[in-house]
Structure 1
């Protein structure tokens, strides 16, 4: 396997320059990044909304076309992994840490500070779950689906290198091997590093908050978070060294088991009927108002609504876009042999349904505790930060300490699999698409990822993490749009696909 010196070298230099800047002048980094973030959110919020919604429409349309029967591989190939393992791996890579971090915190945040009004009403509670599912539902998984579908199609069916730039061959021809193609790959690496660093920072912050909540001598400080990043870095380096079919696969299955166990315990011991009713209402409201929420930029409304849209929806769309080269490449790697229709339905629908159940249980329990049991979760979250919301909820439940320990373990394993998967993907993108990149390259990217998360925490805390995601996503949005166009051009040239499509 050959390391792409131009892509690897350019990407490493850009990342190291950023790390040096953040280490030597963290205040200046925070100020400069915040200025860029504000400009992008204010001037290009409409662009993020249209791009994300356009991608969703394109992906859903493919399901109902003749292209749905085309295999991501040769016509006689079968899926490499069984469905449950496949889902566990894509889900752990796609959203793990974020689901745990925001499971209670986001619904409570929307309940207390909704897009309009003062908050705290029953309607705000209903809307809070609908907005949360909107941010974690079809749109992010459509973004992941597009990039994963294009990569898997060109890699396994057209035998192209597993690079982002290779998906542009129908549009650029041999120019994908020149400066234009290398620039596309560098943008993908840049977005991956800072998109993943955002989640690693969130994970470190929540692990520190949980440890501080459970053990008084431990303080939730940046120093504690940096120690956690260092410890988990060693662990995911070990996992990365063991390879895809050992470390990542085993940990992904463990993640699903832990997440489902935590979810079931909460459903059984919590306000079960309330959660079920909230799930039904949330899913119905989400599907009914999906179009309106997708395109709502509020040009004439008050600053409260505009600020909410920028702080939440636009941030999320940018975060998912910055994550997409990493998650998309990883999903493509484990999806060989599936049909386009099966792939889209699996990647788009199943995680969205799981997210609806997850937030209805986690967020529903938090809302019930705050509204009917006077638990004061919103007040606690306001005083101690969003990262303590989950542990504050567990304190009100039976076996709360055990639940908190289980949650910390789950966050840690999600942390490891996300970082592990990202090192694998970054290795692929800088070794000409190798399906088994060398450990030396993976470990290099593992160190850079962790260092980026540390620098972002030092320079700006959680807001610094969000800023990095938004900035990294903007240039890559154009790459995503180009990938969609290129994929469609190539699909149109396909001969009639075989009718049989066996699901596993």
Structure 2
């Protein structure tokens, strides 16, 4: 069993300093992150849009090119998990809490509070609300995850390299991946992962608190969120210490079952026909305007540009900062898949599930708002879901189911996070030791609490955008490295040869 490397000690030291600043001088941390975040979004918003769209282009190229026949592993390797379990694991790790937090809130916000074009409360804003929600949670997000995961899986299972970000850059950096440059890259990946996962944990704690506050009048404050995070920490520690094939696999399947149950209930009790029509129309608009949305920066409209910074740039930063965590985890469970199968499923299946989810929850929330049955837009973000569910029969029971789903997503994200961080800080060990996983669990909890204490949801978003910027350059290098090594290996394999079926196997 590998022990902690220097990457662990360097990363931990930096995070301890950040936590200490957040505890001693929370106002200074909030002001500092606000300033840096503002500079980054105003100055480099264009860069985020171009980079993430380029990642989509790389994934599409790998999907349709002959390189897609190559496996993430040896050509005779078979997958370790069934396809349903595989999809459940990557979906739970990839979206988790965010899907529940934003499911009703984001489309409603775009419709009634702050739309992409500034027009609210109209039929046009309904269409734009769902179109841009699909955009934020669709192919772009999964292209970021997929590109990082493909690179890691290929070098892990095909080349026998350790599960480290730096290992994927050997074709570009050569021997430098073993020295200070490689260590620096791995430290950046660890920091981005901790901040990304901690942000999700913060969202989860805030929404659980919002549900408890709305349903039972429990105070919505940092003390309640502190207690929630501590309770869930005990839960995910127990899961993390049980190992990948027990804790995470079981919780991922439970997540999918509960999420499907909640989605069906909301669809059945909500505006079902409106939801179906909205899904169909929004999917068409998403596909039709895909390129335009991908590069929309609104240089001549400050109000629209502010919306893009608040929503689109934030999401692109979120996906980038989560990508080392989600990428390593997806890579770990994707051995034996061909690149074509991997890209097709990772880009399309979770995106489609997300579109259905947002159509059901967002469509129901918008329908209630338009009809005047519930003014959900007047609630704080974390209470939007529960305000919507309160209008349904058995609203209390459904809301409790939703809180349970958030809690399990919370546990799954933190569980996966500790596992991945353990791998990243033990030289790529695929089964990191429990002491190290427990240490990272405590660090994730501390970071989530500090960010909430120093500035709430805004502090979470600020740190996300800041941490994503340096790692975006690493992903670009990973894409170049992956294509370079795939082209080389494809030439060595020779042209694809498909043998015709034997006559004995042919059925009429």
Query: What is the TM-score of this pair, normalised by structure 1?
Result: 0.97
Q: Which residue of 1 aligns with 2:356?
A: 357
Q: Which residue of 2 aligns with 1:8?
A: 8
Q: Which residue of 2 aligns with 1:324?
A: 323
- Provide the rounded CA distance (Å) in 2 between the counterparts of 1:496 and 1:363: 49
Once the 2 structures are TM-superposed, how far is the Cα of residue 449 of structure 1 from its aligned partner? 0.5
Deviation string, structure 1 residues 117-168 (Cα, Å, up to 9, x no partner): 3411011011101111100000010000000000000000011111100000
Once the 2 structures are TM-superposed, how far is the Cα of residue 3 of structure 1 from its aligned partner? 2.8
Q: Which residue of 2 aligns with 1:270?
A: 270
Q: Which residue of 2 aligns with 1:394?
A: 389
Are residue 183 (structure 1) and residue 181 (structure 2) matched? no
Once the 2 structures are TM-superposed, how far is the Cα of residue 373 of structure 1 from its aligned partner? 4.0
- Asked if 2 retains the 8 angstrom alpha-carbon contact of 1:144 and 1:327, the reply is yes
| Residues 143 and 497 of structure 1, relative CA distance in 2, 3 Å threshold | farther
Which structure 2 residue ranges, 5 or more long, are not aligned? 500-508
Q: Which residue of 1 aligns with 2:502?
A: none
- Asked if 2 retains the 8 angstrom alpha-carbon contact of 1:94 and 1:327, the reply is yes
Q: Which residue of 1 aligns with 2:341?
A: 342
Are residue 435 (structure 1) and residue 433 (structure 2) matched? no
| 1:89-488 matches, cutoff 5 A | 89-112=89-112, 113-216=114-217, 218-301=218-301, 303-379=302-378, 381=379, 385-488=380-483
- Asked if 2 retains the 8 angstrom alpha-carbon contact of 1:97 and 1:414, the reply is yes
Q: State the secondary structure of the residue aligned to 2:426.
A: coil
- Provide the rounded CA distance (Å) in 1 between the counterparts of 2:270 and 2:120: 24
Once the 2 structures are TM-superposed, how far is the Cα of residue 89 of structure 1 from its aligned partner? 0.5
Q: Which residue of 2 aligns with 1:496?
A: 494
Once the 2 structures are TM-superposed, how far is the Cα of residue 500 of structure 1 from its aligned partner? 6.9
- Asked if 1 retains the 8 angstrom alpha-carbon contact of 2:63 and 2:339, the reply is yes
- Provide the rounded CA distance (Å) in 1 between the counterparts of 2:23 and 2:438: 21
- Provide the rounded CA distance (Å) in 1 between the counterparts of 2:350 and 2:322: 16
- Asked if 1 retains the 8 angstrom alpha-carbon contact of 2:118 and 2:304, the reply is no
Query: What is the TM-score of this pair, normalised by structure 2?
Result: 0.96
Once the 2 structures are TM-superposed, how far is the Cα of residue 479 of structure 1 from its aligned partner? 0.3
- Asked if 2 retains the 8 angstrom alpha-carbon contact of 1:69 and 1:500, the reply is no
- Provide the rounded CA distance (Å) in 2 between the counterparts of 1:228 and 1:477: 32
- Provide the rounded CA distance (Å) in 1 between the counterparts of 2:15 and 2:495: 43
- Asked if 1 retains the 8 angstrom alpha-carbon contact of 2:105 and 2:384, the reply is yes
Segments ≥4 residues shifted beyond 6 Å: none
- Provide the rounded CA distance (Å) in 1 between the counterparts of 2:145 and 2:118: 34
- Asked if 1 retains the 8 angstrom alpha-carbon contact of 2:318 and 2:468, the reply is yes
Q: Which residue of 2 aligns with 1:37?
A: 37
Once the 2 structures are TM-superposed, how far is the Cα of residue 374 of structure 1 from its aligned partner? 3.1
Deviation string, structure 1 residues 335-373 (Cα, Å, up to 9, x no partner): 000000000011100000001100000000000011024
| Residues 499 and 405 of structure 1, relative CA distance in 2, 3 Å threshold | farther
Q: State the secondary structure of the residue aligned to 2:277.
A: helix
- Asked if 1 retains the 8 angstrom alpha-carbon contact of 2:4 and 2:436, the reply is no
- Asked if 2 retains the 8 angstrom alpha-carbon contact of 1:279 and 1:357, the reply is yes
Are residue 27 (structure 1) and residue 27 (structure 2) matched? yes
- Provide the rounded CA distance (Å) in 1 between the counterparts of 2:482 and 2:137: 25
Deviation string, structure 1 residues 485-504 (Cα, Å, up to 9, x no partner): 00011011012375579xxx
- Asked if 2 retains the 8 angstrom alpha-carbon contact of 1:66 and 1:496, the reply is no
Once the 2 structures are TM-superposed, how far is the Cα of residue 214 of structure 1 from its aligned partner? 1.1
- Asked if 1 retains the 8 angstrom alpha-carbon contact of 2:119 and 2:125, the reply is no
Q: State the secondary structure of the residue aligned to 2:103.
A: helix
- Provide the rounded CA distance (Å) in 2 between the counterparts of 1:191 and 1:83: 29
Q: State the secondary structure of the residue aligned to 2:104.
A: helix
Q: State the secondary structure of the residue aligned to 1:8.
A: helix
Q: Which residue of 1 aligns with 2:79?
A: 79
| Residues 119 and 13 of structure 1, relative CA distance in 2, 3 Å threshold | same
Deviation string, structure 1 residues 401-454 (Cα, Å, up to 9, x no partner): 111000000000000000000000000000111110000111111100110000
- Asked if 1 retains the 8 angstrom alpha-carbon contact of 2:110 and 2:116, the reply is yes
- Provide the rounded CA distance (Å) in 1 between the counterparts of 2:495 and 2:392: 53
- Provide the rounded CA distance (Å) in 1 between the counterparts of 2:74 and 2:483: 19
Q: State the secondary structure of the residue aligned to 1:220.
A: coil
- Asked if 2 retains the 8 angstrom alpha-carbon contact of 1:115 and 1:304, the reply is no
| Residues 500 and 475 of structure 1, relative CA distance in 2, 3 Å threshold | farther
- Provide the rounded CA distance (Å) in 1 between the counterparts of 2:90 and 2:134: 19
Matched residue count: 495
- Provide the rounded CA distance (Å) in 2 between the counterparts of 1:65 and 1:118: 42
- Provide the rounded CA distance (Å) in 1 between the counterparts of 2:497 and 2:452: 52
- Provide the rounded CA distance (Å) in 1 between the counterparts of 2:453 and 2:83: 40
Which structure 1 residue ranges, 5 or more long, are not aligned? none
- Provide the rounded CA distance (Å) in 2 between the counterparts of 1:89 and 1:297: 34
- Asked if 2 retains the 8 angstrom alpha-carbon contact of 1:321 and 1:473, the reply is yes
